[in-house]
C-alpha cells in the first residue's frame, strides 16, 4: 500500500476523533467516552469495507474478492440511490433544511434490513451437510435487531429536537456507517458459506501490514482462513466417501 493511502487513513481516523469530540462536548446521552468510541468504530469498519469495494471495482484485489463485490454491487448502488434521493428531497423541501432531519440516517436503514435478511438466508446454507450453528446465526441476528431498534430510537430522539444539529449529524452518520458495516459483513458471511471457501482481502491485508499500530489480527485471519478451508475440504471429502460407501 502506498504511503499516501496510509496517511489518508491516519487523517480519517484523526478527523473522526476530532468530529466526535466537537459534536459531543455539550453533554447529553452520547457524551460518554464508551458510547462515542463504540459508535465511531463503525465509521472505521465501514470505511475499510468501502475501500475494499473500491479496490475490487478498480481490479486491484483478488479474484475471490472481486467476484464478491460484483455480486453485491447492484444492491449497494440501489441503496445509495435511495439515500441520495432522500437527501435531495429533504434539501429541496419548502421548509428550511435542518441537521435535525433524519434523511442521512434513514438511508442506512435499508442496509440494516438487508443485513438481517442476509443473516437469515446464511443460516440455511449447508457446508458438508452442516448448517451454520444456530447460536451464531441467532447471535448475529440479535445484534442486528438491537442496532436496528436502537437506531429507530435515536431517530425519534433526533426528531424530538433533544440534541444539537452537529450532534444529530454525528449520530446519523454513525447509524449510516454501522448499517453499511453490517451490510458488508452479512453479505460476506453468505458469500463464504456459498463458495465454501474463505479468503482474506489482499487490499485490506496490505493496509494492516503497513500500519505499525496494527495488532496483527487481520494477518492472523489469513492463517485462520487456511485452517477453516482445510477443515471444510476434509469434511466434504469424508461426506463423499460416506455417500459412496452407502451406494455400494
Domain extents in the chain = 3-196
Residue 38, pLDDT score? 65
pLDDT (tens digit, 0 to 9) for every residue of the chain, 248 residues total? 556 666 777 777 777 777 776 666 665 555 555 556 667 788 889 989 999 999 999 999 999 999 999 999 998 888 888 878 877 877 777 766 666 667 788 888 889 888 988 988 888 888 877 777 788 888 888 888 888 888 888 888 888 877 777 788 888 888 889 999 999 999 999 999 899 899 989 988 888 777 666 656 666 888 888 888 888 888 888 877 777 777 66
Residue 41, pLDDT score? 83
| C-beta separation of 177 from 209 below 8 A | no
Q: 62 vs 56, 65, 85, 125, 229, CA distance in Å?
A: 8, 5, 33, 24, 17
Residue 30, pLDDT score? 57
| C-beta separation of 116 from 142 below 8 A | no
Question: What gap in Å lies between CA 75 and CA 4, rounded to an integer?
Answer: 30
Residue 54, pLDDT score? 92
Residue 248, pLDDT score? 60
pTM: 0.84
Residue 191, pLDDT score? 93
Q: Is 59 exposed, middle or buried (0-12, 13-18, 19+ CB in 10 A)?
A: exposed
Residue 164, pLDDT score? 77
Amino acid at each position: 500500500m502506498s504511503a499516501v493511502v496510509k496517511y489518508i487513513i491516519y487523517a480519517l481516523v484523526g478527523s473522526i476523533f476530532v468530529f466526535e469530540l466537537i459534536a459531543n462536548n455539550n453533554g447529553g446521552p452520547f457524551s460518554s467516552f464508551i458510547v462515542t468510541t463504540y459508535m465511531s468504530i463503525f465509521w472505521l469498519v465501514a470505511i475499510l469495507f468501502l475501500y475494499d469495494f473500491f479496490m475490487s471495482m478498480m481490479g486491484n484485489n483478488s479474484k475471490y474478492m472481486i467476484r464478491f463485490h460484483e455480486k453485491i454491487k447492484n444492491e449497494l448502488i440501489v441503496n445509495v440511490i435511495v439515500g441520495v434521493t432522500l437527501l435531495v428531497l429533504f434539501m429541496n423541501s419548502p421548509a428550511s433544511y435542518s441537521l435535525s432531519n433524519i434523511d442521512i440516517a434513514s438511508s442506512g436503514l435499508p442496509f440494516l434490513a438487508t443485513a438481517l435478511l442476509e443473516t437469515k438466508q446464511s443460516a440455511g446454507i449447508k457446508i458438508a451437510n452442516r448448517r451454520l450453528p444456530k447460536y451464531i446465526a441467532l447471535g448475529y441476528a440479535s445484534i442486528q435487531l438491537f442496532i436496528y431498534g436502537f437506531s429507530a430510537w435515536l431517530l425519534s430522539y433526533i426528531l424530538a429536537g433533544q440534541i444539537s444539529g452537529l450532534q444529530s449529524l454525528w449520530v446519523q452518520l454513525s447509524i449510516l456507517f454501522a448499517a453499511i458495516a453490517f451490510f458488508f459483513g452479512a453479505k460476506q458471511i453468505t458469500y463464504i458459506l456459498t463458495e465454501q471457501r474463505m479468503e482474506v482481502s489482499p487490499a485490506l491485508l496490505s493496509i494492516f501490514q503497513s500500519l505499525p499500530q496494527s495488532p496483527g489480527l487481520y494477518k492472523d485471519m489469513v492463517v485462520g482462513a487456511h485452517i477453516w478451508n482445510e477443515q471444510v475440504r476434509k469434511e466434504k471429502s469424508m461426506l463423499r466417501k460416506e455417500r459412496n460407501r452407502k451406494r455400494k
